[in-house]
């Protein structure tokens, strides 16, 4: 029985890998068609943020770390009304604040290639967000497709070459080994963008 299960899981993994590769190709074509030419004053944009959407990690083991860091993010963006999207509809003890505003992505919401369906996106395209934050620490098909379609003014993620065309605020974690440390770097740069330190005025001697 265990041998059969291992064989089945191995075949699922082998099937998923080519799909992920094809999804990266599709995103590459999408990037060429919709190459970003936008110029954004990030600091000014952060002062205008009223609402945002957070893409929670698809990796279930990363979820508790992301939610722990959300408390720090909330302190940075106190006036922002956040919504949440979570691909895996598994049981988790979300806080009341998040539980009221979370959208679980169901099987019917995902295309063969792992992208969100048109029906799913209709919920979001009619009300664009000021801010999107992707808390996946690596390329994830659904999240990247969502960011490529969503009209959020600011789209934030940890840097990854397969999604750089669709996010306009990317943070390189500079070799941080743990997910906690990666989020710490992300929060550090968000804090700097939200409240930049003004350089002291230099006076010339008379």
Range of the domain at 112: 42-194
Residue 160 falls inside a structural domain:
yes
Distance in angstroms (rounded) separating the CA atoms of residues 9 and 127: 39
Distance in angstroms (rounded) separating the CA atoms of residues 165 and 34: 9
Residue 52 CB: number of other CB atoms within 10 A? 21
Q: Convert the pLDDT of each residue in 185-205 to its tens digit.
A: 999 999 999 887 654 444 444
Residue 149 falls inside a structural domain:
yes
Residue 14 CB: number of other CB atoms within 10 A? 9
Mean pLDDT of the chain: 81
Residue 138 falls inside a structural domain:
yes
Q: What is the CATH number of the domain that holds 168?
A: 3.40.50.2000
The reply to whether the predicted model has a pTM over 0.85 is no
Distance in angstroms (rounded) separating the CA atoms of residues 9 and 173: 32
Our count of domains for the chain comes to 1
Region of poorest pLDDT, from 12-16, 66-70, 132-136:
12-16
Residue 92 falls inside a structural domain:
yes
Residue 37 falls inside a structural domain:
no
């Amino acid at each position: 029985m265990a041998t059969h299960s291992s064989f089945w899981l191995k075949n699922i993994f082998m099937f998923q890998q080519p799909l992920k590769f094809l999804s990266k190709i599709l995103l590459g074509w999408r990037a060429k068609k919709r190459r970003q030419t936008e110029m954004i004053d990030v600091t000014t944009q952060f002062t205008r943020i009223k609402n945002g959407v957070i893409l929670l990690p698809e990796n279930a083991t990363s979820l508790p770390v992301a939610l722990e860091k959300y408390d720090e993010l909330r302190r940075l963006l106190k006036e922002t009304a956040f919504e949440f999207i979570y691909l895996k509809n598994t049981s988790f003890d979300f806080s009341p604040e998040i539980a009221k505003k979370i959208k679980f992505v169901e099987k019917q919401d995902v295309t063969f290639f792992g992208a969100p369906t048109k029906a799913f996106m209709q919920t979001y395209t009619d009300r664009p967000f000021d801010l999107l934050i992707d808390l996946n620490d690596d390329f994830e098909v659904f999240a990247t497709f969502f960011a490529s379609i969503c009209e959020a003014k600011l789209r934030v993620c940890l840097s990854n070459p397969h999604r750089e065309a669709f996010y306009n605020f990317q943070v390189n974690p500079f070799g941080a080994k743990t997910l906690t440390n990666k989020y710490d770097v992300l929060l550090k740069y968000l804090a700097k963008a939200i409240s930049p330190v003004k350089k002291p005025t230099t006076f010339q001697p008379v």
